Structure 1
């Protein structure tokens, strides 16, 4: 099921982009994330979509962005909008980064992977972060697999147990600086903000 995510977002790229530009519930979490990101630091956006509204917000705050998404249409929109930044059509599980980043976010993207792939991605993210770099992502509140719905189609989600996320983050060189289960101000998402050890 996770491998059908690319097809889903490719089919609905423009509808998703239209809806996404009207919803920016994560702004206050991005502000907390940016407090810990070095001024002008390079940020990796995993599951960047079409760049709205998240990438635009980060760019407007003076950051260079590398965005990764599995949808060619989404990446095409990002390239059109923000041509001075780096946009890669890729599966985050297979991506290879030749540098480290001051911040990494995986908003509404990491939870489309199954449990094992999420664990593997957190390990990779730990390697991709600069010392004291920030990592922002969201999950469900407990260990689960769920089939949601978007644009009339099924959409896969999975989450690990909170203690497992804590263990994985620590093993990958990160410590949690903020965590909010089912944050009502973020649309009910469970949000994690972590920092890599110095």
Structure 2
């Protein structure tokens, strides 16, 4: 059942893009983590927002703080909203498992997106992030509290989530030269997210 639900995530967000946009909070409970992420970046940094949704509030906050954003999402309907709301930045319809991009980035963020992939696909995406990251790049993503697969609900349909264990994420990041610099399980200040913030050494 979980494998079937994992294969339907893209269709679910495309079909219900308007519902997702309406339900997505703009209260910016993520702000403390975003501020830590942005504080580690240079001025006018290049940021890749992986699974950017409709661009609000994450991408908008990065842009309003003076950074250049490239957003990717598998839903063309959500990317259309990004292009209308936040012109002057790059918005691409792209499956995060196939991030063929010519640029490298100072910052990469996958907030509530990576965890819609299977554990094997998450490893592939994180390894791709390593290739798209400059030296001293910063990466932030959310996951589950431990290794598991679960099903939530969205618009009456099952919505797949998965996570690796902390040690798995740490090992993948270390292989790409990244060190976890902040980590919190079930952070209730931002909706119960488990957040990873990692930085690549410039050495």
Q: TM-score range by the shorter chain?
A: over 0.9
* Structure 2 unmatched runs, 5+: none
Q: How do 1:86-105 and structure 2 match up within 5 A?
A: 86-105=90-109
Aligned to 1:115: 119
Aligned to 2:188: 184
2:29 is matched with which residue: 16, 25, 29? 25
Q: Report the equivalent of 1:38.
A: 42
Q: Is residue 55 of structure 1 aligned with residue 59 of structure 2?
A: yes
Alignment of 1:74-93 (within 5 A): 74-93=78-97
Distance 1:158 1:78 in 2: 26
Cα drift, residue 159 of structure 1: 0.3
User: Out of 15, 19, 38, which is 2:19 matched to?
Assistant: 15
State how many pairs are aligned.
198
SS of alignment partner, residue 93 of structure 1: helix
Q: Secondary structure at the match of 2:97?
A: coil
Tell me how far apart the structure 1 counterparts of residues 38 and 28 of structure 2 sit (CA, whole Å): 16
Contact between 2:50 and 2:72, CA under 8 Å: does it hold in 1? yes
Name the SS for the 2:199 alignment partner.
strand
SS at match of 2:102: coil
Cα offset for 1:14?
A: 1.1
RMSD: 1.0
Q: What's the TM-score once normalised by structure 2's chain length?
A: 0.95
Structure 1 residues without counterparts, runs of 5 or longer: none
Which of 148, 167, 172 lines up with 2:171 in the alignment? 167
